Amino acid sequence: MTLRAVIAGSGSALPKRRVSNEQLAETVDTSDEWIVERTGIKFRHIADDNETTASLGTEAARSALAAAGIDAGEIDLIVLATSTPNQTFPASATIIQTNLGIGDCTAFDVQAVCSGFLYALSVADNMLRGGAAKTALVIGSETFSRILDWEDRGTCVLFGDGAGAVVLKAEEGDSGVLASKLHADGRHNQLLYVDGGPSTTGTVGKLRMRGREVFRHAVVNLVAVMNEALEAAGLTSDDVDWVIPHQANRRILDATARKLGLAEDKVIITVDEHANTSAASIPLALDTAVRDGRIKRGDLLVLEAMGGGFTWGASVVRY
Ligand SMILES: CC(C)(COP(=O)(O)OP(=O)(O)OC[C@H]1O[C@@H](n2cnc3c(N)ncnc32)[C@H](O)[C@@H]1OP(=O)(O)O)[C@@H](O)C(=O)NCCC(=O)NCCS
C-alpha cells in the first residue's frame, strides 16, 4: 500500500458583497457585454473592510474541517496560499491557526500567485507522504480587490475575493494526490506583477498586467503541464472525470479543454460567479462541485493553474 495525501473534506467562503458587471459599469468605463464576451465573468465578490484574507481563510477552513468531520486539534500542518496576506508578516497561516484555536503545529504561507494553491498542495502532499505531518489544512485565500487599480479597466474587472480549503489526511490506499508537476519562468515577471513591495517601494502596490501576452502563454503551458502530470500518474486525458482549472478566463478554460480533447461538461467553471480569485479559485471551484454533487468519491480530478511569475502547475488527484 502507498501512503498518500487524501482530500478528507473541502470548504469555501466568499465575501458578502456580490458585485455584477452592471454595478461595476457605474464607476468603471466598461460594460457587461465586453466583460462577458472577453472573460465569461458576470459577478465577483468584494471584501468589506472587516473581511480579510485571514478571516475568509478561517471560514473556508472551518467549513472544510466540518465536511471532513475532523476536529481542529488534529491539524498539524497549515499551508496558506496567498499573494494578499493580512500583513507582510507574520504569515496569515498563523492568524488562521489562532482563529481556529489550533495549538502547536507547522504553519506558513506560500506565494505563487494564481498557481499558489497547487504549490501549497504539493508542499503539503510531500510533507504528509514524508511523515512530517499527518493531517493538513491547505487553504487558498485572497483579497485581490485591495491591490487592484480601480482606474485600470483592463484589470479591475477581472478579479474577485474569496477563499477555499481542503483537509488532507495521510492515508494508505489508492485515493489522494497521485502526481503534481510545478514550473516557474521568471523571465516573464513583467507581464503580470504588482508595482510595489516591502523591499522596493515600501508600499503594497497595484496589480499590472499585459493581458494579451498572458493569454498567449496560458493555453500552451497549461496543456503541457496537464499532460505531464497525467503521464507521471500513468494516466491519460481519457481517464479524467473532472478538470478543476484556475478560474481566470472562460476563453482560456475552453481553449485548454479543446486542446486536450476533453468535453466542455468535464470542466468545472465558476469564473462567471467568482471572477479570478487567484490562489483561492481552485479550492473554491472544487468545493462548489463537491457540494452540488458533481464530484464524487473515486473520481479522477486534474487541477491546473497558471499565474504571475510565470508559475504554472497541475495535480492529478483521485478524490
Ligand atoms: C484581459 C483580456 C480579457 C483583454 O482582452 P483583449 O481582447 O486582449 O483586449 P485588449 O486588452 O487588447 O483591449 C481591447 C480593447 O478593449 C478595451 N478594454 C480593455 N478593458 C476593457 C473593459 N473592462 N471594458 C471595456 N473595454 C475594455 C481596451 O482599451 C482596448 O480598446 P482599444 O482597442 O480601443 O484600444 C485578455 O487579454 C485576457 O483574458 N488575458 C488573460 C488575462 C488573465 O487571465 N490573467 C490572469 C492569469 S492568472
Active site residue 246: yes
To the nearest 10°, report the CA torsion of 41, 221, 316, 239.
Answer: 90
Summarize the confidence of residues 161-181 as an average pLDDT: 98
Per-residue pLDDT of 64-118, as tens digits, reads: 999 999 999 999 999 999 999 999 999 999 999 999 999 999 999 999 999 999 9
Strand partners of residue 291: none
In a shared domain, residues 163 and 278: no
Is the CB of 154 within 6 Å of ligand 1? yes
Residues 150 and 283 in one domain: no
The beta-strand segments (E) located in 111-257 are 135-143, 161-172, 176-184, 192-194, 207-209, 242-245
Return the CA Rg of the chain.
Answer: 18
Domains held by the chain: number: 2
Helices (H) and strands (E) in the chain, counts: 10, 13
Average pLDDT over residues 223-236: 98
Domain termination residue (choose one: 150, 173, 196)? 173
pLDDT, tens only, 25-51: 999 999 999 999 999 999 999 999 999
3-state secondary structure (DSSP) of residue 292: coil
Q: Which of 173, 196, 229 is the last residue of a domain?
A: 173
297 lines ligand 1 (CB under 6 A): no
pLDDT band at 250 (very low <50, low <70, confident <90, very high): very high
Residue 26 sits in the same domain as residue 169: yes
Kindly report, residue by residue over 267-276, the tens digit of the pLDDT: 999 999 999 9
pLDDT at 203 over 90: yes
Q: Give mean pLDDT, residues 210-222.
A: 94
User: Do 190 and 98 belong to one domain?
Assistant: no
For 100, half-sphere exposure in the C-beta direction (CA atoms, 13 angstrom radius) is: 33
**Whether residues 106 and 132 fall in one domain:** yes
Residues 156 and 243 in one domain: no
Residues 107, 228, single domain; the answer is no
Q: Which of 173, 189, 220 is the last residue of a domain?
A: 173
Asked whether 114 lines ligand 1 (CB < 6 A), one says yes
Residue 276 among the catalytic residues: yes
Residues 35 and 105 in one domain: yes
Q: Which three cell numbers stand for residue 58?
A: 478561517
Nearest to 152 by CA among 44, 28, 16, 264: 28
pTM for the whole structure: 0.98
| List 86, 105, 246, 249, catalytic entry | 246
CA distance 170 to 176: 9
Percentage of the residues of the chain whose pLDDT score is greater than 90: 99
C-alpha cell read off for 295: 464530484
Residue 235: give the domain boundaries.
177-318
pLDDT at 151: 97
**pLDDT, tens digit, 9 for 90 and up, residues 115-141:** 999 999 999 999 999 999 999 999 999
Ligand 1 pocket test: pick from 215, 251, 256, 282 the residue with the most ligand atoms within 8 Å of its Cβ. Answer: 215
Q: How would DSSP label each residue in 224-241?
A: HHHHHHHHHTT--GGG-S
Task: Identify whether residues 99 and 144 lie together within a single domain.
Answer: yes
Q: Are residues 92 and 193 in the same domain?
A: no
Same-domain check for residues 36 and 157? yes
The mean pLDDT value of the chain amounts to 97
pLDDT number for residue 224: 97
205 pLDDT above the threshold of 90: yes
Residue 1: the pLDDT is 78
* Ligand 1 contacts CB of residue 212 (under 6 A): yes
Whichever domain contains 214, its CATH number is 3.40.47.10
Angle (CA) 229-232-233 rounded to 5° is 90
The 10s digit of each residue's pLDDT in 186-197 is: 999 999 999 999
Shared domain check, 204 and 165: no
Confidence at residue 230, expressed as pLDDT on a 0 to 100 scale: 98
